[in-house]
Structure 1
Amino acid sequence: MSGMYARFLGIPDLVEAPSVAVVVDVMRAFTVAAWAFARGAEKIVLAESLDDALALKARHPDWVTLKDGPAAPGFDAVNSPGLLRSADLGGRTVVQKTTAGTVGALAVKEASLVLCASFVVAEATARLLRTRAGDGVTFVVTGEDGRADEDLACAQYIARRADEAGADAAEYLRRAAGSRAAAELAQGVREGVHPDDVALCLELDRFPFAMVATLEDALMVLRPEPGLRSSAAARSPRRR
């Protein structure tokens, strides 16, 4: 894997489907997705729009719908790791629609391998890249049209870690902690936020699985890999 070619693009820069894509949304879509799997979710359907999410809910009343921002009719949860970490999602299907993360994943749905990532699954993602990425990876930096420093820092860290297993995360986590998204979450600028969200988004390697998205019956479906999650994933939250 040494010398892996990595490029870092915003969603607007994607002109064709890459072979291997890592879609990064640290604050908060793919931190939330990892927590959903840790709380027992079987799969996550990445919805094209809020209306599509509601339509899926209408067809599958037992599915759990989740969105950015404040609570809304028809949605069961909001896109907050702090609010989701106590949910019981055992065996459930989650439908997720967010501003950036789900959009980025859907933009590369034709890629041969799509991973969705954040700091909490960084090592597992890098490990999968070392075994399956071939000679090039496109990292999709979802926030702020590719300029979100928390997403770029995480993408750069995963790329480096795919080449150097012992890469130090401190500088990348510092950049993420100083990002505009972190400030907005901490200051309550965004709605549907828990006070622990930023800290939870900066927990390195909290979970031992990568997250792989594939097309299933015309839906983009995210699942953990390996499918059998270790019991460590569901341990009670650490306090910070």
Structure 2
Amino acid sequence: MSIVGMDAEIPAGRVVVVIDVIRAFTTAALALERGAAEIACAATAEAGRELRGRHPDRLLIGEVGGLKPPDFDLGNSPADMAAAHVDGRRLIQATSNGTRGLARCPQPAALLAAAAVNVAATARWIKANHPGHPWTVLCTGRTAEDWACARHLSQLLDGAAPDRADLIAGIRQGAAEHARKSLRYPPPERVDLTPDLPLCCDVDRAGFAMVGEIRPDHVVVRAA
């Protein structure tokens, strides 16, 4: 049982949970909540573009440097996704951390994407489908929010009852770290997390896990 960062080797045969709270997998959960059929997670923006070239009916969402590229249909904002019309649509998502993290796990017993919005549902799914199986939680970011979510999930898997307030505090700390880093960039390149933070902090909003199916060049994520 382990919590690791993006530089770690992921052993084969484990249940792997990839976490990105701010903002990839919060956005993904909102998309599935709003009726998206599935999300094809690509490791890079170019891989996402190539995938949409093969499937032009799909919406391409995500970010480069935190910002929506001009040729993407939607960015990486949970607030924008909460108002988007995606019912029945298939999406392609490409982000700097979350979707890249999914691509780092080639031989898991099960592969899941998670954020605070579905952390309890993720624990329930693992307990129901892989009880007693070794697991690894992969934090895709270096800021506090992913690690706080990983600790919360670890405690749930161990049968404890962690305090949501601690998780929310960790997410807010992570958002503050993002904001400080953003000040290094010119104003047009800064990311304003203000509209997204309430949704990133909405612990257990979603009652489903996000389970991945590994394809040759991407991972398809669906609600389960």
TM-score (norm 1): 0.82
Q: Deviation of residue 204 (structure 1)? A: 0.7
Q: Deviation of residue 135 (structure 1)? A: 3.3
Give 3-state SS (helix, strand or coil) of 1:107's partner. Answer: coil
Q: In structure 2, how many angstroms separate the alpha carbons of the residues matched to 1:71 and 1:98? A: 10
Q: In structure 1, how many angstroms separate the alpha carbons of the residues matched to 2:207 and 2:195? A: 21
Q: Which residue of 1 aligns with 2:70?
A: 73
Q: Which residue of 2 aligns with 1:17?
A: 12
Q: Deviation of residue 171 (structure 1)? A: 1.5
Q: Structure 1 runs of 4+ off > 4 angstroms?
A: 185-194
Would the alpha carbon gap of residues 113 and 193 (structure 1) be closer, same or farther in structure 2, given more than 3 Å must change? same
Amino acid of the structure 2 residue aligned with 1:86: A
Q: Deviation of residue 161 (structure 1)? A: 1.3
Give 3-state SS (helix, strand or coil) of 1:108's partner. Answer: coil
Q: Which residue of 1 aligns with 2:178?
A: 184
Q: Deviation of residue 183 (structure 1)? A: 4.4
Give 3-state SS (helix, strand or coil) of 2:4's partner. Answer: strand
Q: Deviation of residue 74 (structure 1)? A: 2.3
Could you tell me which runs of 5 or more consecutive residues in structure 1 were left unpaired when the two chains were aligned.
1-5, 226-240
Q: In structure 2, how many angstroms separate the alpha carbons of the residues matched to 1:8 and 1:121? A: 18
Q: Deviations over 1:141-189 (max 9, x none)?
A: 1102xxx22101101101111233633221222122112x444359975
Amino acid of the structure 2 residue aligned with 1:166: A
Amino acid of the structure 1 residue aligned with 2:152: Y
Contact (CA 8 Å) 1:18, 1:138: kept in 2 or not? Answer: no
Q: Does 1:40 pair with 2:38?
A: no
Q: In structure 2, how many angstroms separate the alpha carbons of the residues matched to 1:131 and 1:123? A: 12
How many residues are treated as equivalent by the alignment? 216
Q: Deviations over 1:98-147 (max 9, x none)?
A: 11111111101321201110110011001112123333210001102xxx
Q: In structure 1, how many angstroms separate the alpha carbons of the residues matched to 2:28 and 2:176? A: 18
Give 3-state SS (helix, strand or coil) of 1:14's partner. Answer: coil
Residues 32-181 of structure 1: pairs in structure 2 closer than 5 A? 32-68=27-63, 69-133=66-130, 134-144=132-142, 148-164=143-159, 166-179=161-174, 181=175
Q: In structure 2, how many angstroms separate the alpha carbons of the residues matched to 1:216 and 1:98? A: 18
Q: In structure 1, how many angstroms separate the alpha carbons of the residues matched to 2:93 and 2:44? A: 9
Q: Deviation of residue 17 (structure 1)? A: 3.0
Would the alpha carbon gap of residues 12 and 130 (structure 1) be closer, same or farther in structure 2, given more than 3 Å must change? same
Q: In structure 2, how many angstroms separate the alpha carbons of the residues matched to 1:82 and 1:185? A: 17
Q: In structure 2, how many angstroms separate the alpha carbons of the residues matched to 1:35 and 1:186? A: 26
Amino acid of the structure 2 residue aligned with 1:129: I
Q: Deviation of residue 89 (structure 1)? A: 0.4
TM-score (norm 2): 0.88
Contact (CA 8 Å) 2:118, 2:208: kept in 1 or not? Answer: yes
Contact (CA 8 Å) 1:46, 1:221: kept in 2 or not? Answer: yes
Of residues 161-170 and 97-106 in structure 1, the stretch that sits farther from structure 2 once superposed is: 161-170
Aligned identity (percent) is 33
Contact (CA 8 Å) 2:58, 2:92: kept in 1 or not? Answer: yes
Among 18, 23, 29, the alignment partner of 2:24 is 29
Contact (CA 8 Å) 2:24, 2:62: kept in 1 or not? Answer: no
Could you tell me which runs of 5 or more consecutive residues in structure 2 were left unpaired when the two chains were aligned.
184-188
